[in-house]
Amino acid sequence: MIAKTVNAFPVSEHELQVSLCDYLDIMVRPDVFWFAIPNGGFRSIGVAMKLKREGVRRGPSDMVFVLPQGRTAWLELKVKGGSLSDDQKLFRDVCLTNGHPWAVAKNLNEAIDFLASVDALKTRAA
């Protein structure tokens, strides 16, 4: 299996996501395309209204992984004390009902375990 990083318990969701992105830059399979959905953060009312009209919705996961064979996996990141909003729970349920792998990770090790389970990570030669 793949060695895990030592920074498994970042303080903020931002730090957790940055740590995961750093890990993915090295360890994601070359045939996996991944990206973040920047739904969080504070915006002016004008920007928020513009984004809403453009189709931005509440609930989608923080990270998306386009996998081989037409699969897509979704990963929500939370740190200790964080919980899913009602919109995030609805999104989770829609993903799982439609056969999309979905997980919430509260630390880097949980994120890595999920990504390994959906075969998104490089493996070492035996």
> Does residue 126 register a pLDDT over 80?
no
- Per-residue model confidence as pLDDT tens digits over 21-38: 999 999 999 999 999 998
- CB of 4 closer than 8 Å to CB of 109: yes
Which DSSP string do the residues of 91-117 spell out, in sequence order?
HHHHHHHTT--EEEESSHHHHHHHHHH
CATH 3.30.70.1430 corresponds to the domain 13-117: no
pLDDT value, residue 41 = 72
Cα angle 85, 35, 25; round to 5: 125
The pTM (predicted TM-score) of the whole model is 0.85
pLDDT-derived band at 88, boundaries 50, 70, 90: very high
- Per-residue model confidence as pLDDT tens digits over 41-82: 778 889 888 988 988 898 999 999 999 999 999 999 999 889
